[in-house]
Amino acid sequence: MSLLKADANNFEENIKSGVVLVDFYADWCGPCKMIAPILEQVSQEYTDVNIVKLNVDTAPTVAEQFGVQSIPTLILFKDGQKVAQTLGFQPKEMLKSWIEKNK
């Protein structure tokens, strides 16, 4: 559907309705760079899932709020509520399967 960038100021607004996959990442993180194009592809394949990227270096309080200690961390929200979380690089098919199982 769409790939958005969030920060501490608009994070809550971005996750409050629908199904939202949040990618907690950092610019210096190798696995984060590897999963970025996969998330871009997935965002175009799913019309009912928004993908939000949140840089943990610029929004550490949000990362802390959700217990993110390692990146990339992917958290799936449904109407503002956390429903699933996964850690590390995910191949595209595994990521799609995880989304389908949890959305």
What amino acid positions are annotated as catalytic residues? 29, 32
Using a CB cutoff of 8 Å and minimum separation of 24, what contacts does 66-70 make?
Answer: 66/24, 68/24
Task: Give the count of alpha carbons within 13 A of 80, CB side only.
Answer: 5
Using CA atoms, how far apart are residues 8 and 32, in angstroms rounded to an integer? 19
